[in-house]
Amino acid sequence: MAYDLALADEIRTVLDGAPEITERRMFGGLSFLVNGNLAVAVRGSEGILVRVGTDAAEELVRTTAATRAVMGARVMAGWLDVGTDSLGTEAELSTWVRRGVDYARSLPPK
């Protein structure tokens, strides 16, 4: 599955070349990792996958358009899908990317 190249470039702009961030193709798209921990991924043309942690995920599902991420038949605790319709502005995208990066930074490096 191809991923949205323009969205990947927009995420790169938000990340502004932070040295601890790497990119890797996975989950059928392009993932951005912080010290080896996945923070955010571009998933095809559907939007992004964001890692926020279990507690934050519950609140964000109630208060935003994000949904719980599902892989196969499994709901992924602490991960959210954010559709492209919720990423319309640079500020919206930046907010989601920062949430993922902040959570990944809180984890021990891999």
* CATH code for the domain of 59: 3.30.1460.30
Tell whether the model's pLDDT for residue 1 goes beyond 70.
Answer: no
In a domain, 94, yes or no: yes
In a domain, 110, yes or no: no
Tell whether the model's pLDDT for residue 94 goes beyond 80.
Answer: yes
Task: Please name the residue ranges forming H helices in the chain.
Answer: 5-15, 54-63, 90-105
- Average pLDDT of the residues of the chain: 94
Structurally, the chain folds into a number of domains equal to: 1
* Banded pLDDT at 18 (limits 50, 70, 90): confident
Tell whether the model's pLDDT for residue 48 goes beyond 60.
Answer: yes
- Tell me how far apart the alpha carbons of residues 55 and 85 are, in angstroms, rounded to a whole number: 24
Q: For residues 69 and 76, is the Cβ–Cβ distance under 8 A? A: yes
Instruction: Calculate the alpha carbon distances from 45 to 16, 40, 48, 84, 110 in Å.
Output: 22, 14, 9, 8, 29
| Nearest residue to 51 (alpha-carbon basis) of 64, 32, 30, 29 | 32
Instruction: Calculate the alpha carbon distances from 104 to 6, 7, 16, 76 in Å.
Output: 23, 20, 16, 16
In a domain, 54, yes or no: yes
pTM (two decimals): 0.93
DSSP-derived 3-state class of residue 53? coil
Tell me what percent of the residues of the chain surpass a pLDDT of 90: 83
